[in-house]
Amino acid sequence: MRYFLDTEFNGMGGELISLALVAEDGRELYAACHCEEPIPWVKENVIPIVFSDMAKPMIVRPQDFGRAIEQFLIQDGLPEIVADWPDDIRYFCEKLITGPGEMVDVHRLRFRIERVDAYPTDLAGAVQHNALWDARALKHRLLGQII
């Protein structure tokens, strides 16, 4: 099954703030952690909508994103993760690693990058720079095409 991925992070190369996976079948994972010192752009454009009423994340510690991913994907024998930007996949993969030589219990994965703009979108309620809404918008955009 395909899962559409988006992440929000604290500036280029900064720590992960939120991660969303939206499955083809409609299931969703939206996890976020608190960002102690957001850069000004993130403080203004991301933080106000991460923990808003429009998309309620599961609050996790930074080291627990991988376990949340594991639990979400556990029943899928070969998930395909679809993103529109390489950093999303990088952050996703970093969170699968739990320690030196250790990772969560995900045995097989496929990754795909579809370099498209999910916005503007006609998806009702969409809010850009919110990982859940951005993953939903990516799914909405790509499922309208043959991928």
- Distance (Å, rounded) from C-alpha 11 to C-alpha 58? 22
CATH number of the domain at 62, please: 3.30.420.10
In this prediction, residue 86 carries a pLDDT of 96
Total number of domains constituting the chain: 1
pLDDT in tens, 51-80: 877 788 999 999 999 999 999 999 898 999
For residue 75, how many other CB atoms are within 10 A of its CB?
A: 8
pTM, 2 dp: 0.93
Query: What type of residue sits at position 68?
Result: A
Using the 8-state DSSP alphabet, how is residue 124 labeled? T
pLDDT in tens, 135-144: 999 999 998 7
pLDDT in tens, 81-104: 999 999 999 999 999 999 999 999
Find the farthest-apart pair of alpha carbons in the chain and give their distance in angstroms, rounded. 44
Residue-range definition of the domain harbouring residue 75: 2-143
Token output for 35: 């960002």
